[in-house]
Chain A
Amino acid sequence: MTEFTRPDGSTGLVPTNPTIAGAEPLAPDGGIDRAVETTTEAGLELKARSQWQYARMRFFRHRLAVAGLIGLIIIFGCGIFAPLVAPYGFAQFDLLHTLQPPTTAHQHYFGTDTIGRDEFSRVIWGVRTSMEVGVFVAVASTIIGLIIGAIAGYQGGWIDNLMMRVTDLVLTLPALAILLAFTALVGNGGQWTLSFILVLFFWTGIARVVRGLFLSLREKEYVEAAKASGAGDMRLMFRHILPNTLGPIIVNATLAVGVAILTESALSFLGFGIKPPTPSLGELVADAQSNPDQWWLTIFPGLTIVLIVLCVNFVGDGLRDALDPQQRRVRA
């Protein structure tokens, strides 16, 4: 044991550790740093990482999530760079090469339809539309749902009641039917009109989730502690509660992209959503109905939808595992 002098002048005994860095005593004020040093010197690991770094590590451990991410980058990349990737325009037709099966000639990788339009190009253009609709609807409805849900969940009382009644109204109506009715009567076949309509309905789901989160987090001890230190409402909401809700919100927003794309394609398939000349994958499947023997017209657009949503869901699942602070769950 070694002697040391405390700030008030009294002396005390402290264990000495002769194998590590000489016989220096452990001063109480330098305790933690010393402890860290001695631990690292002894060869034990002690790396501090931020929460986001941990999340990123966990995400990349999921092969499916990484595969989904790569898939999305490729597919959405095609969508973004559609003018470069697609050999033909969406409406460009060629009456000399109608109903051709997939071939490398003339770059008709996915074949052509009744009036010779290149299916591959049409699918690429459709991907671009789906991507725009999906991302826009997810982002916009998340923002709106976040604001409304946060206010409702945090404030409680009559604001909460009012918000919940409004979401109730929307959620008790049959989703697809209402959207069909809306788009049939108000829609003009354009993608942005449809996107706005979808946002109008999607925000309610997210608001519900956010409200639930804020409601439960409001009662947590660290919020009470912050309140006790004098933090105001705004600060509490933004600095303390919000960061802890970002995980589930991000996951929900990601999965919403998939739902939005599926919904849009269903509406377009039935003829109420996006109509020509705007490209849409659902539209392409609908067109293929009149040519059931030309399998390439049905398969490729639908398969693309499946691939996009599959990748989105993989990424969403990976995010859910990565951002879940309580890693009690077993991997889905």
Chain B
Amino acid sequence: MFTFIARRVLYSIPVLFFSTFFSFLFVSYASNPLATVRQNPRATPHLIHLLTLQYHLNQPVIVRYFYWVQDVFTNKLGKSLVTLQPIWPDVQRTMGHTAQLCILSESVAIIVGIAVGIYSAIKQYSFFDYSFTTVSFLGFAMPVFWLALLLQIAFTDEYNKWGVRIFYTSGLNSIPGESWFTLDRLQHLALPALTLFIISFALYSRYMRASMLDVINSDYIRTARAKGVSERKVIMRHIFRNALIPITTVAALNIGGLLGGAIVTETVFTLDGFGFYFVQKLGQGDTYAVMAYLLVTAVIIIIFNLIADITYGFLDPRIRYD
């Protein structure tokens, strides 16, 4: 097992290099860092000259790429050319917020999705099943940004409309400052989390239902029943154990879509998250910040892919990585 992990990690490194290199390539060609710097009103010619030397902006792309890589490790992702500030603190802060949002929405989505999927499969063709199938189909067809916008519009000005304040429709806190686990934060995160929840829920409930049906109709369940095993034990011991296996993979591999959804949702609700950060920096043409985002998310995706493979191998004895 350890050799497998080691091999995968080793393999991921060149992949990471190549993907960041290509990203760096087109980001550099398509944007002009020098022009961006010159736009900065505080940039004196002397400063520009200094920056050019410091960031090797007059060197070929390949050289610049390696300097960037060096920066990633030694200088914590370096400095933004737009704000002239270090990138890492911003990344750290915004990543934390996005993580909070995603963990909130995903954990609820997984639990509820699995539960609904299980019940839909057991009571196939019932009203419950049909209604949630409809919900899933809607979830798949729903653009994330539209859902976010609808929720936002519905609850904007709710204090003026209904006299109660339940949800907030923008920002992370009512009062500026970091308060991570307060009711206020929850009220601000509720609607964005609901948006992401609905999209993920559709996925998980659907997959769980399909997986359950697959298992329920298989021969070994019939064998278990023929042995006289009680229905409760059949469900817990035989059906669940098998039906849950694919879901772990689905959840882990959903990370790419989740991060994409986060980009859109944070933008709509103006949350200080990693996704919104990326969109802003992209708009400003801030090369190194954009690269920072791509690098960090690529690493996250690789890690989650690895987690998916490992859990699958752990749960299914038929898969053994030797």
Binding site for B on A (CB under 8 A): 165, 168-170, 172-178, 180-182, 184-186, 258, 262, 265-266, 269-272, 282, 285, 288-289, 292, 295, 298-299, 302, 305-310, 313-314, 330, 332
The answer to whether A169 and B22 touch across the interface, beta carbons within 8 angstroms, is yes
Which residues of chain B come closer than 8 Å to A266, judged between CB atoms? 143-145, 260, 264
Which residues of chain A come closer than 8 Å to B283, judged between CB atoms? 184, 271
Interface size class of B (residues with CB under 8 A): 35 or more
When C-beta atoms are compared, the residue in chain A nearest to B275 turns out to be A177
The answer to whether A185 and B27 touch across the interface, beta carbons within 8 angstroms, is yes
Which residues of chain A come closer than 8 Å to B267, judged between CB atoms? 270
Which residues of chain A come closer than 8 Å to B146, judged between CB atoms? 285, 298, 302, 305-306
Instruction: Please choose the segment from B106-114, B183-191, B298-306, B307-315 that sits at the chain A interface, where 4 or more of its residues have CB less than 8 A away.
Output: B298-306
Which residues of chain A come closer than 8 Å to B16, judged between CB atoms? 172
When C-beta atoms are compared, the residue in chain B nearest to A307 turns out to be B141
Q: In the complex, how many angstroms separate the beta carbon of B15 from the nearest chain A beta carbon? A: 6
When C-beta atoms are compared, the residue in chain B nearest to A330 turns out to be B213
Whether, in the assembled complex, B197 has its beta carbon less than 8 Å from a beta carbon of chain A, the answer is no
Q: How far is the CA of A270 from the CA of B153 in the complex (A)?
A: 17
Which residues of chain A come closer than 8 Å to B124, judged between CB atoms? 330
Residues from 250 to 305 in B contacting A, C-beta threshold 8 Å:
256-257, 259-260, 263-264, 267, 278-279, 282-283, 290, 293-294, 297-298, 301-302, 305
A contact patch SS: helix
- A265-B143, A282-B143 given; A180·B137 CB < 8 A: no
Whether, in the assembled complex, B55 has its beta carbon less than 8 Å from a beta carbon of chain A, the answer is no
Which residues of chain A come closer than 8 Å to B12, judged between CB atoms? 172
Residues from 129 to 176 in B contacting A, C-beta threshold 8 Å:
133, 137-138, 140-146, 149-150, 152-153, 156
- A172-B298, A173-B23 given; A302·B282 CB < 8 A: no
The answer to whether A310 and B141 touch across the interface, beta carbons within 8 angstroms, is yes
The answer to whether A302 and B294 touch across the interface, beta carbons within 8 angstroms, is no
Q: Which 6 A-B pairs have the closest CB atoms?
A: A185-B30, A176-B260, A302-B146, A309-B141, A310-B141, A174-B297
Which residues of chain B come closer than 8 Å to A178, judged between CB atoms? 23, 294
Residues from 87 to 145 in B contacting A, C-beta threshold 8 Å:
124, 133, 137-138, 140-145
Chain A CB within 10 Å, residue with most, of B142, B149, B305: B149
Whether, in the assembled complex, B210 has its beta carbon less than 8 Å from a beta carbon of chain A, the answer is yes
The answer to whether B298 and A181 touch across the interface, beta carbons within 8 angstroms, is no
The answer to whether A181 and B23 touch across the interface, beta carbons within 8 angstroms, is yes
The answer to whether A186 and B259 touch across the interface, beta carbons within 8 angstroms, is no
- A169-B22, A298-B150 given; A313·B27 CB < 8 A: no
Q: List 28 A-B contacts (CB under 8 A).
A: A169-B19, A173-B23, A173-B301, A176-B264, A177-B293, A178-B294, A181-B282, A181-B290, A184-B282, A185-B30, A185-B31, A262-B143, A265-B143, A266-B143, A270-B267, A271-B283, A272-B282, A282-B143, A282-B145, A285-B143, A289-B149, A292-B156, A298-B150, A302-B143, A305-B143, A307-B141, A310-B137, A332-B133
Encoded as 1 (CB less than 8 Å from any A CB) or 0, chain B from 200 to 220 comes to 000000000010010001000
The answer to whether B294 and A177 touch across the interface, beta carbons within 8 angstroms, is yes
When C-beta atoms are compared, the residue in chain A nearest to B209 turns out to be A332
Whether, in the assembled complex, B18 has its beta carbon less than 8 Å from a beta carbon of chain A, the answer is yes
Q: How far is the CA of A302 from the CA of B152 in the complex (A)?
A: 14
When C-beta atoms are compared, the residue in chain A nearest to B302 turns out to be A172
